Amino acid sequence: MSQLPALPVTFRPGRTRAVLLTAGIAIFVVITTVAMLLEQLTPGEKLSFVLTGALLFGVLAMLARVKVVADESGVTVVNIVSRRRLAWAEILQVNLRPGDPWVFLNLSDGTSLPVLGIQPGIAKQRAIADARALRALAEDRSLRDLP
């Protein structure tokens, strides 16, 4: 087995995050600039432009917040609008199959949890390495929990 990453470790789609945040800032700046340059707009209309830009930035920032944090006691999965804490024993399997948009965790309660913090979108090889590292951690921790 390959060497396990030191805990705590955070997995997140770095390139995707950079693209989303950069796009969000650019959209906000462009919309705000256009609102300020259009002299025929009332102050209320200008404010609505700025608020629309801020809303778009907020949506992209929510998409960029996804991550997975693994520590000694378990894993915290932060998706777009949810956060879930899992003990290592709850994770039965870590899956990233060809064509999957992100990692899925098969859990002891029979459900599957999407993990958007590891996604092969822009950086496929990084996502595969992160999925393997999370799988190795889960397997290592489940072996430690055996009687």
What's the pLDDT at 82? 96
98, two tokens: 């060809």
Q: Rg of the chain's alpha carbons, rounded to an integer?
A: 20
d(CA 99, CA 120): 9
- Alpha carbon distance 47, 41 (integer Å): 10
pTM of the shown model: 0.84
Backbone phi and psi for residue 119, each to the nearest 5 degrees, phi listed first: -140, 135
The encoded tokens of residue 12 equal 């997140």
d(CA 33, CA 112) in angstroms, rounded, equals 44
Q: Provide the greatest CA pair distance for the chain.
A: 74
What is the C-alpha separation between 13 and 143, in angstroms, rounded? 28
Looking at residue 71, what is its pLDDT? 95
Q: What is the DSSP string of 30-82?
A: HHHHHHHH-TTS-HHHHHHHHHHHHHHHHHHHHHHT-EEEEETTEEEEE-SS-
Residue 145 confidence (pLDDT): 58
**Grouped pLDDT means (10 residues each) for the chain, 147 residues:** 82 93 98 96 97 98 96 96 95 94 95 95 90 94 65
Burial of 3 (0-12, 13-18, 19+ CB in 10 A): exposed
* pLDDT, position 7: 92
